[in-house]
Amino acid sequence: MCGIVGYLGSGSALDIVLEGLEQLEYRGYDSSGLTIKTSEGFKRVRAEGSLDHLKQKIEKLEGPLGIGHIRWATHGTASLENAHPHKVGKIQLVHNGIIENSEELKTRFKYNYQSQTDTEVIASVISDFYSRTGDFFQSVFETTKLLEGAFAFLAVCEDEAHSIVGARKGPPLVVGFGKEKEFFISSDLPSLVQKWTSRVAFLEDGELVHIQDGRCQFFSSDGSLIKKKIQTIQKEDQAKGKEDYAHYMLKEIFEQPHSSLRVLKAYTEKGQINFSSPLFQSAEKIFIVACGSSYYAGLYGKFVLESIVGIPVEVDLASEFQYKSLILKPKDIVLFISQSGETADTLSSFHQVKKRGVTCYALCNVRNSSLDREVDASFYLNAGLEVGVASTKAFTSTLVLLLLMALNKQKDHSLVSQLFDLPFLIDQVLSKSEQIKEQAVLFSKYKRFLYLGRGPHYPIALEGALKMKELAYIHAEGYPSGEMKHGPLALVDQEVLVIGLAMKDFYYSKNIMNLQEAKARGGFILTIGDQNHKSVADQHIEIPSCHPFLSPILEVVVLQLIAYHFACSLGHDVDHPRNLAKSVTVE
Ligand code: F6R
């Protein structure tokens, strides 16, 4: 949610800040803005909507220092006056996060506020301190002590042509070290490492950074100078760009044979699962905590872990988990699933658990993310950079990783060899993309979508519905098939498209029965499975037969394609669904 970038060096700050914002556009696209220190002073440009709008507004701005912002609106609409950088007096500032006491601060630090944001008040407080002390860094430091909530921000001062101050509490902030006396700051690591430098230092919670006149200094929350370790990060071996695909999302859907193979290879050796430790040997209970798609992957994890390992698993939404009474025992293990490793609710839940001394594992995609750096051990999705806002390949990699973790140290390894068929099976499903596109175009006459599944297929029903909601902006609901008659069946009429996950496995006959009940009420039935049950299915999408732990992975690929093609047929920008952002760094 929101991305911030800063630069000070001998290059063109404008080019670098714009490049940085391009990299961060997945974090928001409600508005963007930047300020560049030119020979005529700081020049601020802001625009509503996508980054292209900002680029169109900028002519030439030459200068060595700049900060920029890409916005996902929290306080105030996506308007020009709410776009960052915000400027109060001589201070300009870009911010990612939410200042929870902004109203209280606005009352205390009176000013003719131009925006509805919670950000402008940070600039106002800094400006107030600065007008009294004339010390820019100290003013920022004093301001951070008054802020409640979450923030990563960068501030510049018109009196200090070569100075940027950054502060972090919650959302990430990374400093990159370029050539001599060249510094980059960004909300994420990939933007630094992919583009500019592999030498970085992470700000931890409460820390500040002061880049000034060719020097970079870090400070702790009590204001004392700290020595930071500069790390060298390997650039991910990952081609950027959409290649020949119309969207990142489609490219990422089509990458799934490779991404699933990567995670398989990462945790197997000579056909045997190869985690360095027994993982759950002494655990009495496993908790899985995550948000959104990662939470749904966690529900699949519960199914395979309980079935294979035989340890009870509780799956919690991080946004709820962090506020509930935690009943954790010393031998429990908590798995945090997060593609980005930066989701605020997941991180906050992790901090609650960490205080209890319970073992915490992360399943994450972005190495060196906040979660990755803080947990006891990380297991990587190896999905490669996921750019599309709607998760696809990271989701399937999470399912594969959870299955591998469940199978670790199990005596029966017959499923492991079948796992290596997965890339080929996904490939077969992908070959149906054009057929699915033709089918999806016809769905526009339906006003509501119901996704039904049982057992390991239920989390997939939830994920399929989420993909439809976020991409097509249509009400879609995932439901356990057997629960329909306890209420939701009342919703079914001719305007409802029912998508039934109906593999010929243990759940098949019961599922078909539930689909018959929906059909009898006028619902249009689309089944996905390895056998077409013609008496129930109005339409069918055939997928290959496989082990019941693997078929959910194939089903979700079909559901991704349905949501993708349907949303495209409605003319939506699937890589940038409205109101959303990829990295959710606010609660
Ligand atoms: C949906 C989607 C989101 C994320 C959720 C958690 O397509 O991508 O629901 O799964 O925001 O994000 P991470 O996994 O980064 O914690």
Series of mean pLDDT values for 10-residue runs along the chain (587 residues): 94 96 89 96 96 93 96 91 97 96 96 95 98 97 96 97 95 94 94 90 96 95 95 71 91 96 93 85 94 98 96 97 91 96 95 94 95 96 93 98 92 82 96 95 92 97 98 96 92 95 95 94 96 92 96 98 97 90 78
Is 582 marked active-site?
A: yes
Q: Are 503 and 476 in contact (CB under 8 A)?
A: no
Position 240 scores a pLDDT of 64
Contacts of 457 (CB under 8 A, 6+ apart): 501, 503, 507, 511, 551, 552, 555
Q: Are 379 and 392 in contact (CB under 8 A)?
A: no
**Residues paired with 185 in a beta bridge:** 6, 175
Cβ of residue 397 lying under 6 Å from some atom of ligand 1: no
Contacts of 129 (CB under 8 A, 6+ apart): 138, 139, 142, 143
Is 364 marked active-site?
A: no
The angle subtended at Cα 182 by Cα 176 and Cα 187, nearest 5°, is 30
Position 411 scores a pLDDT of 72
Distance 3 CA to ligand 1 centre (A): 17
Distance 69 CA to ligand 1 centre (A): 22
Position 238 scores a pLDDT of 52
Helix ranges (DSSP H) in 243-369 = 248-254, 256-266, 292-308, 318-321, 344-355
Residue among 467, 469, 519, 582 flagged as catalytic? 582
**Paired sense of beta strands 539-542 and 149-157, if any:** unpaired
The Cα 351–Cα 528 span in angstroms is 40
C-alpha pair distances (Å), 527 with each of 348, 399, 441, 500, 535: 39, 22, 16, 5, 11
Contacts of 486 (CB under 8 A, 6+ apart): none
Position 347 scores a pLDDT of 96
Position 237 scores a pLDDT of 53
Residue 6 token pair: 């800063």
Strand order in the sheet with 286-290: 313-317, 286-290, 333-338, 359-364, 377-380
**Residues paired with 316 in a beta bridge:** 289
Cβ of residue 338 lying under 6 Å from some atom of ligand 1: yes
Nearest CA to ligand 1 atom 10: 293
Cβ of residue 560 lying under 6 Å from some atom of ligand 1: no
Q: Which atom of ligand 1 is nearest to the CA of 389?
A: 8
Cβ of residue 476 lying under 6 Å from some atom of ligand 1: no
Reduce the DSSP state of residue 302 to 3 states and report it: helix
Position 195 scores a pLDDT of 85
Q: Which atom of ligand 1 is nearest to the CA of 346?
A: 16
Q: Which among 336, 339, 347, 380 is the best mutation to test ligand 1's pocket, defined by most ligand atoms within 8 Å of the CB?
A: 339
Position 579 scores a pLDDT of 84
Q: Which among 340, 346, 367, 391 is the best mutation to test ligand 1's pocket, defined by most ligand atoms within 8 Å of the CB?
A: 391
Distance 169 CA to ligand 1 centre (A): 21
The Cα 176–Cα 357 span in angstroms is 33
Distance 442 CA to ligand 1 centre (A): 28
With CA atoms as reference, report the closest residue to 575 among 563, 587, 585. Answer: 563
Distance 583 CA to ligand 1 centre (A): 7
Residue 539 token pair: 């339409």
Q: Which among 584, 585, 586 is the best mutation to test ligand 1's pocket, defined by most ligand atoms within 8 Å of the CB?
A: 584
Cβ of residue 346 lying under 6 Å from some atom of ligand 1: yes
Q: What is the DSSP letter of 488?
A: G
| Burial 21-35, CB ≥16 within 10 A → b, else e | bbbbbbbbbbbbbbb
